[in-house]
Every structure is written in C-alpha cells, then in structure tokens.
Amino acid sequence: MSTFAPPIVEPTFDTAGVWSLPSRGKVGMASLIVAESAIFTIFVVAYLYYLGKSLSGPTPRQVLEVPIFYTFCLLSSSLTIHYAGKSLERDKKRAFLGLWLLTIVLGGLFMFGTAREWYRLIYEHGLTIATNLFGTTYYSLVGLHAFHVTAGLIMLSIVLAFSLAGRVTPRHFGRIDVLALYWHFVDAVWVVVFTVVYVIGR
C-alpha cells in the first residue's frame, strides 16, 4: 500500500454532498470562554462565601456606590461591536470604523469608572486588598474582570490600527466575529459581577 494513498472511498455524502465543519476560531473561543467562566465562578464563589465575614471594616454598604453609568457604557459596547461587525460584513467601512471606535471609547470609559472607584476606595476610605476579606475578594473579582476588559481593549485597538491602515476587509469578518464573542463574554461576566458585588453584596 502506498503512502500517498488515494481517498479510501469515493466521496459520498448523505447531507446534500457538502462536508462542512464548524469554524475553529469560534469553537476555540467558545472553549476559552468555558474555561474562563470556571475561573470567574471560583472567584464569585469566594466573594459570596466571604460576604459579611470580614473581621474589620469598611463594609461594602459603607463604601460601594452602584456604577450605573459605567455599566451602561460597557453593556452598550456589546451592541456597538455587534453592529460594527454587521457593517464590516456589508462592506460599509466607515460605519465599521466609527462603531469600532465607539466600542473602544465605551470600554475605555468603563475602565475609567473602575479606576475612579478604586482611587476613591483607596484614598478616601483606606480600603486596599490587604485591609479585610471584603477588600481581598472585591479587588480580586473586579480586578480579574478589569484585566479581561483591558485585554479586550488591547485587541480592539490592534484591529483599529489595522483598519485605519485600510487592512480590514469583509474577508476578515470571521475573525472580527471571534473577537466580538470575547467582548460579549466580558460584558456578560460584568452582569454577574455587578449582581454579586453591587446588588447581593450590598
């Protein structure tokens, strides 16, 4: 038998004669999201388990303010990135660029909100990661999420640089879609973190 063997059987397919498989980018990103969800779950469990178990103050009720505006920013960025992708698919380059930029601005605003909140907590209330259990779990959980937003913003900015150079075409829609999947995940995690930290946690 030769190494360079021909196909073993004549290609015959039951399903309309087309052999199609899922996109590896999407499957890969979905798998990564599953893994990331497990990491976040453990941090959320730790947060909930330690609610009210701090031996000293400050407590969440004393110092946390609900970041409604910045939450609105982050959640809207899911919409803008979705429509940015749609625009790219239909080859509307200007609309894509505008919406993509808007997504980055909204994500950046959210990070600005987190930075202001942390500044206030550290300098006005003296709450650091070493202060008490609340500080440890709060900065870890919110920080882990902020780290993911930052990673997303870096990737979005790389795409922005490429598209300003005119290198992003409808051909790249599949890849943009994979990145959008990650961004939606980061937004969805915020819904959980928001609920746990600012609703249940207060």
Partner 1 sequence: MASDAVAISRTEVEDRPWVDTLHEWVTTVDHKRIGLLYILFALVFLVIAGLEALVIRIQLMYPHNDFVSPQVFNRMFTMHGTTMIFFFAMPILFGFGNYLVPLMIGARDMAFPRLNAFSFWLSALGGFLLYFSFLGGSGLYGAGSAPDVGWWAYAPLTARAFSPGSSTDYWTIAVLVSGFGSIGTAVNLIATILCMRCPGMTLGRMPLLSWLYLTMSGLALIGITPLSAAQLMLLVDRYLGGHFFDTQAGGSATLWMHFFWIFGHPEVYILVIPAFAFMSEIIPVFSRKPIFGYPVMVAATVCIAFVSMSVWAHHMFTIGMNSYANSFFAITTMAVGVPTGIKIFNWLGTMWGGRIQFKTPMLFAIAFLFQFLIAGLTGIIQAAVPFDWQLSLSYFVVAHFHYVIVGGILFAIFAAFYYWYPKVTGRMLSERLGTLHFWLFVIGFHLTFDPMHFAGLLGMPRRIYTFEPGRGWDAINLIVSIGAFIQAVGILVFVANLILSYWKGARAGNDPWDAWTLEWLTSSPPPAYNFASIPTIASRRPLWDLKHPEDPDSRYE
Q: How far is the CB of 147 from partner 1 (least distance, A)?
A: 10
- Cβ proximity to partner 1: between 44 and 106 the closer is 44
- Cβ proximity to partner 1: between 3 and 165 the closer is 3
Q: How far is the CB of 131 from partner 1 (least distance, A)?
A: 9
Its sign, for the CA torsion 78, 80, 83, 87, is negative
Q: How far is the CB of 33 from partner 1 (least distance, A)?
A: 9
- Cβ proximity to partner 1: between 12 and 154 the closer is 12
Across the chain, the runs of DSSP E, i.e. the strands, are: none
Its sign, for the CA torsion 107, 111, 112, 117, is positive
Q: Which residues are near partner 1 by CB under 8 A?
A: 1-13, 19, 21-24, 27-28, 31-32, 34-36, 38-39, 41-43, 46, 49-50, 53-55, 129-130, 132-133, 136-137, 140, 144
- Cβ proximity to partner 1: between 10 and 94 the closer is 10
d(CA 67, CA 78): 17
Q: How far is the CB of 189 from partner 1 (least distance, A)?
A: 13
Measure Cα distances from 96 to 35, 88, 130 in Å: 30, 6, 44
d(CA 6, CA 65): 67
